Structure 1
Amino acid sequence: MMRIAVAQFNATVGDLTGNVERILKCAAQAKARGAQVLLTPELSLCGYPPEDLLLRPDFYRACHQALDDLASRVEGIVLVVGYPEESDGHCYNAAMVIENGQKKAVYRKIRLPNYEVFDEQRYFEAGSEACVVTIAGVRCGINICADIWEPGAFELACTAGAELMLVLNASPCHLEKHQQRAQVLGERIEATGVPAVYANLVGGQDELVFDGASFALDAHKVCRMRLPQFEEALGIVDFTAGNLQSADMASELSIEAEAYQALVLGVRDYIGKSGFKGAIIGLSGGIDSALTLCVAVDALGADKVRAVMMPSPYTAQMSLDDSRAMIQKLGVRYDEIAIAPAMQTYAAMLDPLFAGLPADTTEENIQARIRGNILMALSNKTGALVLTTGNKSEMAVGYCTLYGDMAGGFAVIKDVYKTLVYRLSRYRNTLCGESGPVIPENIIVRPPSAELKPDQTDQDSLPPYEVLDAIVRAYMEEDRSPREIIAAGLPEADVRRVVRLLRIAEYKRRQSPVGIRITPRGFGKDWRYPITNRYQDEF
């Protein structure tokens, strides 16, 4: 029998000393549980993705020194660790097998992804050879992440004699991604008959969240181990006479739980790893800021979150009442700062310049920018980070104000459609137990409004969110043409309007804060739409 430990831990990019200590801690725990080998995630030594740190020769030198330090301090267990390798002027995404302080074998990733959020061909050369090592009498093949997504690397190791595949991964999540991983690994197993153990990274890194959910599939594609999502864990799986067994079998999450936990982890790690003192959120009395506030409190604790309500003459009393009710439930610091005096000052300054011109969105945007200035001033003074509250539906069509509600350092729900915002808000209320809902029902059921002019609602300017979200998803995530979207049954007038708005809002999105990605394609690293272009869509 061989006992494999799977280290699903939260690495920090560039924290080589800290990551080495995490790996050593996992190795000690694995040894105590009788494991002969410890499998770590992809690039676990340096964190993933290191991006342009990989263009620095000194970074590779530091990583190699950290690897030497790690190897010298591990005894009594074989370690499979991911690291960036520089060899004779060539750079690789690699995995080192360490045994008794010695570097026993190295595997170089064969398939380098260059799609969605991945840019590995920018940094690495592809490996070409299988790596099969004997551990506790078992012939183990090594693969890294994208190697399993197409036939080739997995089969190469099996042809070289692998009885069991060990797969290191840094696979960022989007909703239901864990099911997709099991499917593609199952395809490799079906083709070869060789079982596999899959270790995945967990934690937040800028816009990416890694959800863990490490697992093992036997030769019949049956899941024999599953670790929890969005938390660190050390899994144990036994390999005996070709069979896998484990007592670790975490339950799968609902879509709402998966999305919510991704947001919480993303906020916790962005603020924690970046060294900010806490979070500041501008409350509006609407559902977006309410959900963002809940996420922040669950991520950081109420003592590190500050909410600011900045009413204007157009703010409804209901908005104030609902915000105060939320604050009472959550226990965060709360301030109310009326912006009417600033609005009057701006009006006095600009009226001579606006003479003869009718009021329009300019005056609305000034209100948003006053609020943005107040939040950023508090951020500068306290060292806390402003969390913006715009959702994916609004970001798609530019229903947001540059230097106003877009002002801040991290966009929590930037990749959350408005329809999902409602579902997540109701989900969060189910977690409250006997204390009752945190987000007042009024916030959930009232028509959404920016409250920048009398009797304003979002639907004055936008299609119903169910229609808007369906159009954005089809155009932006699925790359379907307007003609195809209309043919699928969505109203032509709404399709034309939304596609036009989506295109002209790109200059705004380029200036928005980085935000958490939870869909297969977010407005970030994997959306690179030209701001200046004259392409005419197919209608």
Structure 2
Amino acid sequence: MSLLNIACATVNQTPLDWTGNFNRIVDAIKDAQRQQVELLCFPELAITGYGSEDLYLSYWYPQKAINQLANLLPFCNDITVAVGVPVRIQEKVYNCMAVIEDQKLKALVAKQFMAIDGVHYEFRWFTPWEHGKVISYSLVDEEVPLGDIIFEKNGVKYGFEICEDAWRGKDRPGYRLKDRKVDVIFNPSASHFAMGKSIQREELMKESSKLFNATYFYVNLLGNESGKMIFDGEILVAREGKLFLKNQLLSFEDYQVKAFSFDKDKEIKPEIDSLHEKNQEFVQAASLGLFDYFRKSKTKGFVLSLSGGADSSTIAILVAEMVKRGIKELGKERFLIKLGIDYTTKTNQPEREIVGKIFTTAYQASENSSFSTFQSAKVLAESIGAAFLNWEISDEVKSYTEKIENVLGRKLTWKEDDLALQNIQARTRSPIIWMLANIKNALLLSTSNRSEGDVGYATMDGDTSGSISPIASVDKHFIRQWLLWAEKNLDYPGLAKVNSLSPTAELRPTENLQTDESDLMPYSLIVEIEKLAIRDRRSPIDIYLILKEEIEIEPDLLKTYVKKFFRLWSRNQWKRERLAPSFHLDEFSVDPKSWCRFPILSGGFEEELKELDTY
């Protein structure tokens, strides 16, 4: 026989939610059984959730995961199920796929390569397995093999490359699986979302299927599992260098099961086309990230200081999209149940009504705020149905300022005290918006973006305040073009006013005509410098020489901007250390807790920047 009904199941798991994780796996198994699936593969570490962090280092946590594995056995009748689980053997923990067949554990396959770049720290928790090695492991008084193992069902041989295993070039296990003549390779993964990453995965799967002469199955975890990383729940099937199955990514469901009828002797038709749109990926991932953060934190809503500018307006639209997409996929009743909200809609506009129920915005005017940004914020909030509040902070700013003036014995002036006078406005907004969030038992959304994080263009304990920072890993240049795209493609006419304004902090007197780019440099240039400096880890001189050839800019001005970027970058690490948790949405970020570590105190690139003057 060479026929086998194979399926992959993605699940939205949460560390320490033992019952919920177990039930979602069981529900997916039952769904697969209804579809008469014979072989079902879950993602890696599906029993615990990938983001369990240092819980893996304990003795009890991997043991409880093994107990959960044992509890799964009775549900696996007349089906083979592969599910990810951590396994501790003495002092070492291994990332394994457990293969259960007809209610018995058949074997455990261990991951051979650890992900250690970017957001991944797997060597902290796991030990890589040696290829070709097999040992005996005891579960419920039965001995089973653990290690580098292949399997067979209905005459179909299959094996595993677990996530990072597939990204290791000529060292990857797939070459040895080919030598062992497997027909099917599974890649159970916990691969974080990043815009454009799905294209890379598709290419790898297609190339792998051709390279190893096998049908290649990929399955990823789903959702904002534990706060920062978002998993897109991607399921792919490739054969002979072609893609034949792909599911809906970034689903609001608890799980998805996608079946594929495998026949190694029969040609597959038809090949599928896959569409990729970066703007669409961003809104899908961020809205799902907000949905999961909302329900898993067990809060009752969101609060946002809506300035009328690009960043806060982006976040407002993401909340509206969370509601729109959640209702579309789940229906309004299931959507509200999953959010943990007991509410019955009363109008024929449930999206607007629910947005108004869970989302409160506030415009906090200082003496330097303009009527244009007030109108921008008000029109946008009302257009999506959000509650809109507004108040002035002038009295509070005046009170703080006068207290300092009294103890210093002098008046504060914009000439001598510019930065302090700007910061006190942003910082004064924080206590009252936090108070509103506390009263409503809501998450306060922070509005900082990656470009601001690069150069510290944010007030600590001011506009950085928040429970979660949804766009902190996305650059401002992208955000500005996304808002233009969203106005037209997502049908948000309320963004028209936002898109007509130049980004400004509005912290200096209006006659100053303050804009972000006059304070810093063009955002389009910041993104080019940060890619080279942070993503590619280039030196200041390298960046100058590269950009001098790639963009049209006067060389001395380019040197000035490169120097400014590195000086601001190096002196503002302390701010990045204190930013609110952020979603990882792009190929890199400046979050020192998950992507880019940099010393708080340093020499500030002074020698490197002096060398620029020799060019």
**TM-score for both structures, normalised by structure 2:** 0.84
For residues 30 and 427 of structure 1, what CA distance do their matches in structure 2 show?
Answer: 39
Deviation at 1:250, TM superposition (A): 7.7
Alignment of 1:335-350 (within 5 A): 335-350=389-404
Comparing 62-71 with 83-92, greater Cα deviation is found at 83-92
For residues 98 and 490 of structure 2, what CA distance do their matches in structure 1 show?
Answer: 46
How many positions carry a matched residue from both structures? 535
The residue number in structure 2 matching 1:268 is 291
| Structure 1 contact 17–66 (Cα < 8 Å) conserved | no
Alignment of 1:270-349 (within 5 A): 270-300=293-323, 301-302=354-355, 303-349=357-403
For residues 204 and 599 of structure 2, what CA distance do their matches in structure 1 show?
Answer: 33
Comparing 510-519 with 69-78, greater Cα deviation is found at 69-78
For residues 275 and 487 of structure 2, what CA distance do their matches in structure 1 show?
Answer: 20
For residues 271 and 469 of structure 1, what CA distance do their matches in structure 2 show?
Answer: 30
The residue number in structure 1 matching 2:494 is 438
| Structure 2 contact 234–246 (Cα < 8 Å) conserved | yes
- 1:420 aligns to 2:478 (yes or no): yes
- Equivalent residue of 1:362, what SS? helix
Alignment of 1:122-271 (within 5 A): 122-128=124-130, 129=132, 130-150=148-168, 151=170, 152-204=172-224, 205-218=226-239, 220-231=240-251, 232=253, 233-242=256-265, 245=268, 251-271=274-294
Q: Counterpart of 1:157 in structure 2: which amino acid? A: L
- Equivalent residue of 1:175, what SS? coil
Deviation at 1:365, TM superposition (A): 0.7
The residue number in structure 2 matching 1:532 is 601
- 1:488 aligns to 2:546 (yes or no): yes
- 1:101 aligns to 2:103 (yes or no): yes
Does the C-alpha gap of structure 1 residues 482 and 244 become closer, same or farther in structure 2, counting only changes over 3 Å? farther
Does the C-alpha gap of structure 1 residues 397 and 305 become closer, same or farther in structure 2, counting only changes over 3 Å? same
Comparing 7-16 with 111-120, greater Cα deviation is found at 7-16
For residues 72 and 431 of structure 1, what CA distance do their matches in structure 2 show?
Answer: 49
| Structure 2 contact 243–271 (Cα < 8 Å) conserved | no
Deviation at 1:113, TM superposition (A): 1.5
Gaps of 5+ in 1: none
- Equivalent residue of 2:392, what SS? coil
- 1:511 aligns to 2:511 (yes or no): no
Does the C-alpha gap of structure 1 residues 222 and 9 become closer, same or farther in structure 2, counting only changes over 3 Å? same
1:341-377 CA distance string (max 9 Å, x none): 1112112211123434533111111111111111111
For residues 248 and 81 of structure 1, what CA distance do their matches in structure 2 show?
Answer: 28
The residue number in structure 1 matching 2:518 is 460
Does the C-alpha gap of structure 1 residues 395 and 133 become closer, same or farther in structure 2, counting only changes over 3 Å? same
The residue number in structure 2 matching 1:408 is 466
- Equivalent residue of 1:527, what SS? coil
Deviation at 1:537, TM superposition (A): 3.4
Q: Counterpart of 1:188 in structure 2: which amino acid? A: S
Does the C-alpha gap of structure 1 residues 248 and 55 become closer, same or farther in structure 2, counting only changes over 3 Å? farther
For residues 61 and 244 of structure 1, what CA distance do their matches in structure 2 show?
Answer: 44
- 1:381 aligns to 2:381 (yes or no): no
Deviation at 1:56, TM superposition (A): 1.5
The residue number in structure 2 matching 1:121 is 123
Does the C-alpha gap of structure 1 residues 438 and 432 become closer, same or farther in structure 2, counting only changes over 3 Å? farther
Deviation at 1:186, TM superposition (A): 3.8
Deviation at 1:245, TM superposition (A): 4.4
Does the C-alpha gap of structure 1 residues 198 and 313 become closer, same or farther in structure 2, counting only changes over 3 Å? same
Does the C-alpha gap of structure 1 residues 379 and 402 become closer, same or farther in structure 2, counting only changes over 3 Å? same
Indicate the percent of aligned positions where both proteins have the same amino acid.
26
For residues 100 and 269 of structure 2, what CA distance do their matches in structure 1 show?
Answer: 24
For residues 99 and 379 of structure 1, what CA distance do their matches in structure 2 show?
Answer: 50
Does the C-alpha gap of structure 1 residues 250 and 289 become closer, same or farther in structure 2, counting only changes over 3 Å? farther
Deviation at 1:400, TM superposition (A): 0.0
Comparing 171-180 with 9-18, greater Cα deviation is found at 9-18
For residues 228 and 267 of structure 2, what CA distance do their matches in structure 1 show?
Answer: 35
Comparing 246-255 with 57-66, greater Cα deviation is found at 246-255
For residues 125 and 335 of structure 1, what CA distance do their matches in structure 2 show?
Answer: 53
- 1:50 aligns to 2:52 (yes or no): yes
Aligned partner (choices 481, 484, 501) of residue 568 of structure 2: 501
1:130-173 CA distance string (max 9 Å, x none): 22111232111122100111133122223233211111001001
| Structure 2 contact 571–601 (Cα < 8 Å) conserved | no
The residue number in structure 2 matching 1:23 is 25
Comparing 352-361 with 512-521, greater Cα deviation is found at 352-361
Q: Counterpart of 2:501 in structure 1: which amino acid? A: R
| Structure 1 contact 398–502 (Cα < 8 Å) conserved | yes
| Structure 1 contact 11–44 (Cα < 8 Å) conserved | yes
**TM-score for both structures, normalised by structure 1:** 0.95
For residues 426 and 533 of structure 2, what CA distance do their matches in structure 1 show?
Answer: 29
- 4+ aligned runs moved over 6 Å, structure 1: none
Deviation at 1:463, TM superposition (A): 0.7
Deviation at 1:247, TM superposition (A): 8.2
Does the C-alpha gap of structure 1 residues 57 and 242 become closer, same or farther in structure 2, counting only changes over 3 Å? farther
